[in-house]
Structures are given as C-alpha cells and as structure tokens.
Amino acid sequence: MLTNWIYVFLPRISCALAWVVNPIFIYLIFTESSNKFGNYRFLLLYFALFNLTYSVVNIVVPIDIITYRYCFIVILRDGWFVELSDFNFSLLSARCSLVGTTFALILVHFIYRYLAIQNSSLTRNNFHWYMTGSIFASVFHFSVWHLTCLYFTRAEFEMRQYVTPGIRRTFGNETIDFNILGGVFHEVPNSVVKRTWIAILTCTSISVLTIIKFIVLSRMIINKLNNMSITASKKTARFQFELFRALIVQTTIPIVISFAPCLFCWYIPMFGIELPRAFNYYEVSAFGIFPFVDPIAIILCLPIFRTRIFRFLSSISSGFFEKPSNASRTK
C-alpha cells in the first residue's frame, strides 16, 4: 500500500496540485500592474511552465532509487516506457536532467534581478535577447546532465551483474527487466569506477558552481538594494526587497528538496553505506512536490499576491456564512 501511495498516488496528486497552483500563479502575475513586474512577468511565466512540464514528466517517466553496497542506481519504475530500450533509457536520462535544469532557471532569475536594479536595457528594451539567453542557459544545463547520464552512467554488463542481488532483494526481478542509470565506486572494473567519477564530478561541479553564482549575485543584489533604499522611494525599495526575498525562497526549495538528496544518494555509497528504503521513498516523493510548493512559497512571500489570495478566501468564507443567515431572515 505504501509503495502504491509513493509511486502511483503521490505523483498524480502532486501533478494535480501543480496544475492548480501554477495557473493561479500565472493569473496573479499578469493581472497585476505591468509597472510592478515589467518583463519579469515573462521570466516567471517561463518558470511556471517548467513546473507544469516537470509535474507531467514525473508521472509519465516514474523513477525509483536504491543503493546497494558501493552502488547507487536510478530505474524506470513502471509505466509506458519501462521496457529495456535505448529510447526509454534516454527518457530516464532526460528525467534526471530536469533536476539540473532547475538551477539554470533560478540563475537567470538572479541575473535578471541584478540587471533590473541596475536599470539595464536587457531587462527593458532588449528583453527578447535576455529571454533567448535564458532559454539557452536552460538547454545548456539540461544537455550537460543528459549527455553525462547517457554516456557515463548507463548500466552495462558489469554494473548490472554487480547490482543483481540488490535488484532481486528490492523488486524480486532481474536487471534485464529495468532501464538502469547509476554508478559504482568499488568492487567493479576500473573502467566502471572511472565513468562513475566522471559523471558524479561533472554534475556536482556544474551544480555547485551555479550555487556559488547564486551566493555571489545575492551579495551584489543586497549591496545594490542597500544603496537603492537611500536613493529610491521607500515603496520601490521595499518591493525590490520583497522580490529578492521571494527569489531566495524560490532558490532554497529545489536545493533542499531536489539537489541535497541527489548529493546524499551519489556520495554515501562511496563508503559502502546502503540507504534505508524509507529514504528512497523520501527522495522519489521530494522530486515531485517542488513544482507546486515553489509557486505557493513565492505567492506567500509577496504581500501583493498574499493579500489578494487572502482577500479572495475571505470573500468566499463570508459569502458562505451569509447565505444561511439571509435564508433564516426570509423565513
């Protein structure tokens, strides 16, 4: 029952919530005054569309994660593409690569926020070039992860032979029944270990370097905002601080929910430690929930959105409680 909940019901519930929350998020953005958000609206729209795409992929390409001795593996759990094939393995690789793509989306938000405070022409008259560069950055991050997974983490004969006991113990199946992506640190030929390290270091490096860019840009933005609080109006400075705070929340959620479990899963097997099955359940569940959690966090962080949502909920509740009293007066 728990397995069905984790791999069948929870992804569908998460997807449904994402398709409720993100359209509301888009509506709030584009019904606000254009003077407040400017072209930033389209960057937020891009983020929301990515969330919707991710939530659907989470159902169509369901994954499972296990560790066995010095190995970690990701498999296609079930569904339309579970059969062993090159195309299905490519889908598995693409599914994992979406985790890395989130860093590119967040990075372009940080860069935009800094340029907007600088009043750069890229955020005004030449925004089409900035949006093109943002899409290119997303494609670049996705491609690096995807190609790394395709060429360095595919389970060939040696890895499949090594993880056979773990697959049998966990699923009661043979390795031939699964598309497998993973890495092994010991007890296999050096060529397999070398490919594992190339994959792990590549994905870790590009992600950690992006996080460092977040930190550097955050510091630069804070300095600019402090100067703005002196030169600009209090209302403008306060709104810019609110947008920056929302961006920090938007950044923290995928790092904690998606990237941190990835690092844990990659490096713990290096010491021969097998993660408990409960942690695998957490990893798989966490990967699917940030597409609807992130927009909610942004809405709650921005007072202009939060006020509108609370006002709407208040009007619904007041209307609900007024109807019975009116009916009783009529009687």
Which CATH number covers residue 231? 1.20.1070.10
In this structure, are residues 91 and 173 in contact, taking their beta carbons and an 8 Å threshold? no
In this structure, are residues 220 and 115 in contact, taking their beta carbons and an 8 Å threshold? no
DSSP 154: B
| The total number of structural domains that make up the chain | 1
Q: Please list, in sequence order, all residues whose beta carbon lies within 8 angstroms of the beta carbon of residue 52, skipping any fewer than 6 positions away.
A: 18, 19, 22, 291
Q: Tell me how crowded residue 96 is: count the other CB atoms within 10 A of its CB.
A: 22
pTM (two decimals) = 0.86
Helices (H), the chain: 2-4, 10-31, 34-37, 40-60, 86-117, 127-152, 157-171, 190-231, 234-254, 260-267, 277-301, 303-330
Assess if residue 187 is contained within a domain: yes
Query: What is the Cα 284 distance to its own chain's centre?
Result: 12
Assess if residue 319 is contained within a domain: no
Which residues form the domain of 84? Answer: 16-305
Assess if residue 316 is contained within a domain: no
Assess if residue 321 is contained within a domain: no
**Bridging pattern class, strands 180-184 and 63-68:** unpaired
As beta bridge partners, residue 75 has: 64, 180
Assess if residue 89 is contained within a domain: yes
Assess if residue 322 is contained within a domain: no
pLDDT by residue, tens only, the chain of 331 residues: 566 667 777 888 889 999 999 999 999 999 887 777 888 899 999 999 999 999 999 888 888 888 888 998 888 877 788 888 889 899 999 998 988 898 899 999 999 988 988 888 888 888 899 999 999 999 999 999 999 998 898 888 888 888 888 888 887 777 777 888 988 998 888 998 999 999 999 988 998 899 899 999 989 988 888 887 777 677 777 888 888 888 888 888 888 877 787 788 888 888 888 888 888 788 888 777 888 888 888 888 888 888 888 888 788 777 665 655 554 444 4
Q: How many CA atoms lie within 13 A of 297 on its CB side?
A: 17
